[in-house]
Amino acid sequence: MSILDAEHRSIWIVAAVLAVAPLPVLGSSYYEGILAHMLLIAVLAVALNIVFGQTDQLFLFSGGLAGFGAYGTAILADWLSISAWITLPIVALLAGGIGLFVSWVSAKRNFSVVLIAILTISLQFVFSEVFVGARDITGGSTGFRYDYLSFDAITAATGLGSKLVVYYAVLVLLVASLLVYVRLVDSKYGVAFAALREDELAAQSIGIDVVRYKTTAGFVAAFLIGMTGPFIAKEAGYILPNEFSFFAIDVIVLIVLIVGGLRTVVGPVVGAVIVVAIEQILAANASSWRTAIFGALLIFLFIYFQNGVVVSVRERLERSELFERYLGDSNAD
C-alpha cells in the first residue's frame, strides 16, 4: 500500500476540502466553531467505525470517554501544575486503557453485542454521574471555564482567530485518525477484523487471536475518543456534563456513522457534514424539537439505510446507470 492509493487519496481530498472550508466564513467565530464541532463529531465517528464498524463491539460510552478525556486533561494539569498539552496524551492513553479493558473482558468472556452495549451504556451512566456529582473537582452541573490547551503562541504568531486555530488542530486530529483507520484496515488487522465479523469461531480456529484484535480496536477507538474530548470542551470554551451526555454524543455519532456508512473511509466525515448541517437548520427553526427529530431519524435510518445513506444512494445511482446502459444497448439491438 502506498500513501497515494485510492483510499489515501480520498483522505487527502477530504483534508484539502476541509482545509479551505473555513474560507467562506472567515472571521465569524460562530461558524468557525460549528465547523470545528463538525470535525470533532467526525473524529468520534471514525473511532466508532473502528470499534463498532470493524469489530462489532458496540461502544455506547463515547460521551463518557470523551468527557473523561476533557475533565481528566484539565484536572490532571491543575493537580500537577503542568501544561494540559502534556496531560492530554496521558489521559488519552488512560481512556484507551478503559477501552482496552472493556474489550478485553468482553472478548475473554465471549460477550454478545447486547452485553457490550449494556456494559458500556452502564459505564456511560457512571461517567455522567461522576461529572455531575463530583462537584469538588468537576464543578458539577455548572462546570468551569476551559482555558486549557492554549494556542496563544500560534494565534499570536499567525494572527488567526482562536476558533480557527482549534479548527485546524482538530483537522490534524481527524486526518491522523483517518490515516490510522486506513492503516489498520489495510493491514493484517483489517483481514482479521473481516474474518471475525464473518464468523468468530472459524476465525479462531484458523489461529486468529480474537482477544488481541478486539482489544486493539477497543484501545485505538477509546484513545481517539479520549483525545477528542478535550477539544470539544476547548471549542465550547466551557466544560459542562451535558456536553458529554449519551444524547449529546453517542446518539449523534451513531447517526453520523449510519448516514456516512459503516466501514467506509470518509463516510464518518460525510455523515458529520450532513448531520451538523441538519443540526444547524433545526437550531435555527425548531430548536426545541432537535432531540425528537434526531430520535425519529435514528429509527428511520436503521430501518431503511442500515448500510449507510451515502452507500445506498451511490449503489442506487450505479444500479440505475447500469440499468440505463443495459436498456440503451438492448434498444440499439
Partner 1 sequence: MVTASTLLGVAVDGLAFGVVLALLGVSITLVFGLGEVLNLAIGIFAVLAVLAARTAINSGVGLAVGVVVGLVFIGFVGFVVDRTLLRFVYRSTGEDRILLGIFITLGLAVLFEGVLINYFPAQYGLSLGVEPISFGTVVLTGSSLAVIALGGVALIALLVFLRRTFLGKATRTIFQDERGAQLVGVNLRRIRTFIFVLSAAVAGFAGLIHATGSTVSVSTGFEFTTFALIVSIVGGVRSIIGAIAAGLVLGMVSQFANFFVGSYVATIILFVTAIVALFAKPEVLS
The C-alpha cell 479520549 sits at 226
Beta bridge partners of 239: 144
Q: Which three cell numbers stand for residue 135?
A: 462537584
**Shortest Cβ 280–partner 1 spacing (Å):** 17
299 Rama sector, left if φ>0, alpha if ψ -120 to 50, beta otherwise: alpha
For residue 138, CA distances in Å to 127, 134, 222, 236, 239 come to 12, 6, 21, 16, 9
- Can you tell me which of 126, 277, 322, 327 binds partner 1, judged by CB under 8 A? 126
* Minimum distance, C-beta of residue 99 to partner 1, in the bound complex (Å): 15
Q: Is 207 exposed, middle or buried (0-12, 13-18, 19+ CB in 10 A)?
A: exposed
- Residue 22 to residue 213: CA distance in whole angstroms: 38
Distance of alpha carbon 242 from alpha carbon 42, whole angstroms: 19
**Is 90 one of the binding residues for partner 1 (CB under 8 A)?**
no
Q: Which of residues 104-123 bind partner 1 (CB under 8 A)?
A: 105, 109-115, 117-119, 121-123
CB of 301 to partner 1, least distance (A): 8
Contact between 48 and 253 (Cβ < 8 Å)? yes
For the chain, the straight-line distance linking the first and the last C-alpha, in angstroms and rounded, comes to: 43
Three-state DSSP state, 240: coil
**Nearest approach, Cβ of residue 117 and partner 1 (Å):** 6
Compute the least distance from the CB of residue 227 to partner 1, in Å.
25
Q: Which is nearer to partner 1, 13 or 292 (by Cβ)?
A: 292
Rounded (to 5) percent helix, strand, coil in the chain: 80, 0, 15
By CB under 8 A, the residues from 13 to 72 that bind partner 1 are 56, 58
Q: How many CA atoms lie within 13 A of 52 on its CB side?
A: 24
**By CB under 8 A, what part of segment 291-330 binds partner 1?**
291-300, 302-303, 306
Contact range with partner 1 by CB under 8 A, out of 32-40, 124-132, 165-173, 311-319:
124-132
Helix (H) or strand (E) holding 200: helix 200-205
Which residues in the 195-234 window bind partner 1 by CB under 8 A?
none
Q: Are 95 and 222 in contact (CB under 8 A)?
A: yes
Q: Which is nearer to partner 1, 220 or 257 (CB)?
A: 257
Minimal distance, residue 108 CB to partner 1, in Å: 9
Residue of 125, 150, 283, 324 that binds partner 1 (CB under 8 A): 125
We find the least distance from the C-beta atom of residue 220 to partner 1, in angstroms, to be 22
Footprint of partner 1 on 245-274 (CB under 8 A): 246-247, 251, 254
Measured from the CB atom, is 93 or 130 closer to partner 1?
130
Query: Which of residues 31 and 246 has its CB atom nearest to partner 1 in the complex?
Result: 246
Determine which helix (DSSP H) or strand (DSSP E) holds 49, and give its type and residue range. Answer: none
Write down the least CB distance from residue 52 to partner 1, Å: 10
Which of 158, 287 has the CB closer to partner 1? 287
Measured distance CA(173)–CA(170) in Å, rounded: 5
Main-chain dihedrals φ then ψ at residue 239, nearest 5 degrees:
-110, 130
Q: Please, what is the minimum distance in Å from the beta carbon of residue 287 to partner 1?
A: 11
Toward partner 1, which CB reaches closer, 26 or 194?
Answer: 194
The residues of the shown chain that bind partner 1, judged by CB under 8 A, are 56, 58, 105, 109-115, 117-119, 121-123, 125-126, 129-130, 132-134, 246-247, 251, 254, 288-300, 302-303, 306
